Chains A and B, each alone.
Chain A
Amino acid sequence: EDQVTQSPEALRLQEGESSSLNCSYTVSGLRGLFWYRQDPGKGPEFLFTLYSAGEEKEKERLKATLTKKESFLHITAPKPEDSATYLCAVKSSGTYKYIFGTGTRLKVLA
């Protein structure tokens, strides 16, 4: 059964303190791994799609990487506005379904 596990569940950082969020997955034939940002009371906002091991994508202070078993979302010199829940999802071959992790709640303190 396809499964996604995110860690840590919650993370508190000081402004400027870089860190990484982890997304471990077990899927039969990964076709895509997706990262989303979700602010309280809002729908998830798409950030990145990664297709194959070794791929990296960057956007401002965020960088997503992918291996055959996990993905990392690296946050460099975070700011308070980066505070949100970050969700990871996977899509495997032959299915219309996306499997989501439970997310990492990030709080960046000024």
Chain B
Amino acid sequence: SQTIHQWPATLVQPVGSPLSLECTVEGTSNPNLYWYRQAAGRGLQLLFYSVGIGQISSEVPQNLSASRPQDRQFILSSKKLLLSDSGFYLCAWSGSGLTIYEQYFGPGTRLTVT
């Protein structure tokens, strides 16, 4: 069966500090990978998605970046955090290609920028 991991679970960082959130998927190959941010009481905002190693599509211009160094690894980064980067970050995977697959989500990372 497939599982998706995210770490850390919670993170408190000062403004201006760097960020690295990691997501890994087990039990599948060549998945589509996604990063979302969810503000309190709000829906899911798509930040990045990747359909293959090294292939990143950005949905929202901001100070965040994403990388996919391995098939089942997706990393969200920032060089300098802003207060507005606080939120609940979710990684998700779906089957490869454009086939209609449901997405499966990780447990999330709660980021608080102080």
Q: Is the CB of B49 within 8 A of A32?
A: no
* CB contact under 8 A between A44 and B49, given known A91-B100, A96-B98, A101-B43: no
Inter-subunit contact B49/A96 (CB<8 Å): yes
How many angstroms between the C-alpha atoms of A100 and B47 in the bound complex? Answer: 13
The contact size tier of chain B is 20 to 34
CB of B97 to closest CB in A, whole Å: 9
Q: Are A43 and B43 in contact (CB under 8 A)?
A: no
Q: Main secondary structure on chain A at its contact with chain B?
A: loop
B interface secondary structure, majority: strand
Q: Is the pair A42, B98 in contact by a Cβ cutoff of 8 Å?
A: no
Please report the total number of A residues contacting B with Cβ < 8 Å. Answer: 25
Q: Which residues of B contact A (CB under 8 A)?
A: 32, 34, 42-44, 46, 49, 51, 57, 59, 88, 90, 92, 94, 98, 100, 102-108, 110
A and B contact pairs by CB, cutoff 8 A, 8 listed: A34-B102, A43-B92, A43-B106, A93-B98, A98-B34, A98-B94, A100-B43, A103-B43
